[in-house]
Amino acid sequence: MNKWIVGNWKMNGMMSSCRDLAAGLVTLEQEKPVRATVVVCPPYPYLGVVALRLMDSSLHLGGQDCSAHEAGAFTGQVSAKMLKDLSCGYVIVGHSERRAQLNENNDLIRQKAQQSLAASLTPIICVGENLEERETGKAIDVVLSQVQQAVPKGKCLIAYEPVWAIGTGKTPNASQIGEIHQMIARQNPGTPILYGGSVKSSNASEILAIPHVHGLLVGGASLDTAEFWKIAEAA
């Protein structure tokens, strides 16, 4: 199966640094082409400027979130159709930061994923247990219920991101990642499953070699062009 390498820039950078990051990736792609599908997800205001830089490359653009509604009186929200109009092909939904900071639940996340599919975007639906759930042996059940409730029928990507591994430098071991990915694969046959949480160029190959890992969702390391490209080269 094709592998995906997705960079989530989160709320980082300004217009010039986002433009430079995109330009740097386009140069690297020309110098060192990779097999993987590479997607970058800049902050909303800079999608247009990044889209212009990516135009003549095979790099893909994604949003970091979208509305659960098609259009209307939803001040401050951005629709999946708008992202598509800005040349996005992907959108992250249900990131653990939004689940925790904005109380997003599985129902809302499923609606966002459905809006994405209706707009011909591929949703990247994030799931993952927190530390307490991991330590009390509930990881499998928590992730299973997130997948059952948040993933609609259709062409989606699922990203397994244990909350305790995001931005912490800690990663689960190969058997912990493999166990969750295998369970998701059984539940959603044919759906690519990405791993996310403290991925770096030094651990990318090892994680990509785990069965049922079809790609990586990268936060912090995606802000460093050379480091992110090394991760893409590992796929």
Residues serving a catalytic function are 95, 161
CA distance linking residue 157 with residue 65, whole number of Å: 14
Burial of residue 179 (CB within 10 Å: 0-12, 13-18, 19+) is middle
Q: Does 197 bind ligand PEP (CB under 6 A)?
A: yes
CA distance linking residue 116 with residue 110, whole number of Å: 10
Supply the minimum distance, in Å, between the C-beta of residue 77 and ligand PEP: 21
Q: Is 128 annotated as a binding residue?
A: no
What tokens does 3 get?
């592998």
Q: Residue from 42, 63, 192, 219 that binds ligand PEP (CB under 6 A)?
A: 219
Q: Residue from 90, 161, 172, 213 that binds ligand PEP (CB under 6 A)?
A: 161
Number of residues that bind ligand PEP (CB under 6 A): 13
Q: Does 133 bind ligand PEP (CB under 6 A)?
A: no
What tokens does 181 get?
């990915």
Q: Does 196 bind ligand PEP (CB under 6 A)?
A: yes
Burial of residue 164 (CB within 10 Å: 0-12, 13-18, 19+) is buried
Q: Considering beta carbons, is residue 22 or 221 the nearer one to ligand PEP?
A: 221
Q: Residue from 62, 162, 215, 220 that binds ligand PEP (CB under 6 A)?
A: 220
Do residues 43 and 64 touch, judged by C-beta distance below 8 A? yes
Residue numbers belonging to the annotated binding site for substrate: 8-10, 167, 198, 219-220
Binding site for ligand PEP (CB under 6 A): 8, 161, 166-167, 196-199, 217-221
